[in-house]
């Protein structure tokens, strides 16, 4: 486990070599397939209309709206959770002045 973490740390933070992954590249490698995977069902229903099969666009648009709203709520909850964790983890502590013992 430690060896994997070392490899990951060096692959993300090594900028001098030019071969390592920067955080932007790593994020794009994660988000690009998710974006494509989320667009496939939308495009599939849009181009699947044949002579016998009619698509009610209003229903499809509302369905897409509800799916995106559910995703937005999940992302919002995750962001709020991370913010609460950071606030409680790194909050400033009031230190009491220590009395001088003579």
Number of domains composing the chain: 2
* Concatenated DSSP letters of 21-34: PPHHHHHHHHHHHH
Where do we find the tokens 């013992």? 101
pLDDT value at residue 83: 94
Regarding whether 62 and 45 lie in a shared domain, the answer is no
pLDDT value at residue 37: 75
The residue segments making up the domain with residue 43 are 1-53
pLDDT in tens, the chain (102 residues): 455 555 555 555 545 545 556 777 777 777 777 777 777 777 776 666 555 567 788 888 899 999 999 999 999 999 999 999 999 988 888 888 888 777
Structure tokens at 26: 């790593």
What is the reported pTM? Answer: 0.42
Cα-to-chain-centroid distance, residue 37:
15
Regarding whether 37 and 73 lie in a shared domain, the answer is no
pLDDT value at residue 49: 57
């Amino acid at each position: 486990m430690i060896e994997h973490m070392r490899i990951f740390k060096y692959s993300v933070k090594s900028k001098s070599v030019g071969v390592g992954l920067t955080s932007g590249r790593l994020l794009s490698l994660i988000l690009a397939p998710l974006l494509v995977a989320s667009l496939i069902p939308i495009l599939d229903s849009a181009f699947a209309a044949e002579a016998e099969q009619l698509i009610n666009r209003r229903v499809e648009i509302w369905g897409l709206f509800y799916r995106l709203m559910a995703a937005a709520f999940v992302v919002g909850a995750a962001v709020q959770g991370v913010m609460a964790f950071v606030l409680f983890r790194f909050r400033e502590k009031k230190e009491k002045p220590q009395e001088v013992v003579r």
